Amino acid sequence: MSARIKQNRELTLLATLVAVTTLAWNGYVVHKNAVNRPATLEDKFVQIDALGCDFREIVDDLRAEQSTTYRSTGRNIFLMSASARRNSGSTTIGRFQIYDRPQPEPDPALDMVFFGYGALPANGPRQAFLKEKKSDNVHIVSEGSVLESHIRILHIGNEKIEFEDIYTGRRGSSVLEVPVT
């Protein structure tokens, strides 16, 4: 009898485990289907009160936004330094009227001494040797190189080097100098 009782216990335990597993599986599948069920028309669209707005006002605002244009003030927005404000107008002194004219910007200055040039293959691009005035650092540059993050080398000649300030577009040149030894 003990074998029969043991077999009944095992069958009861098996039936209980099958029942619990079935309930858990059904609960998971039903919950998953409830979350991922397809949306109905009522869920997709939300009704709005469109009768209370003035469409002409909205269209006028859109036209005004489309017609806006950017007009530059002449200031380079990518420069960190503040630009000097120029007064445009005139001053009256006695019976004379003096008109203020903006002063031209100074030519760009290269804070280096141009003391030589060369080419390394024989017919290769020219390279210039520039020595900083404040230190003994020597820079070897070729045409198109950028120095000090705003000076572009344009042309390396026999007697001078021509460069351009990238920020202002102004050009300058430096004459070949023999460094003092």
- The residue-averaged pLDDT of 139-143 equals 89
- The residue-averaged pLDDT of 88-115 equals 73
Give the pair of three-digit tokens for residue 115.
């003391």
- Helix/strand/coil for 90: strand
Higher pLDDT, 40 or 177: 177
Please report the pLDDT score of residue 77 as a whole number. 72
Any idea where the domains of the chain sit in the sequence?
112-175
Higher pLDDT, 16 or 26: 16
Encode pLDDT of 29-64 as tens digits. 766 655 566 666 666 666 766 666 777 888 888 888
- The residue-averaged pLDDT of 66-71 equals 79
Interatomic CA distance for residues 88 and 167, integer angstroms:
23
125 pLDDT more than 90 = no
- Helix/strand/coil for 114: strand
On average, the pLDDT of the chain sits at: 78
Interatomic CA distance for residues 78 and 151, integer angstroms:
16
Encode pLDDT of 102-121 as tens digits. 667 777 778 888 888 887 77
The radius of gyration computed from the CA coordinates of the chain, to the nearest angstrom, equals: 41
* Ramachandran bin of 123, using left for φ above 0, alpha for ψ from -120 to 50, beta for the remaining angles: alpha
- By C-alpha distance, which of 69, 39, 163 is closest to 108? 163
CB neighbours of residue 72 within 10 Å: 7
Interatomic CA distance for residues 142 and 118, integer angstroms:
10
Q: What is the pTM of this model?
A: 0.42
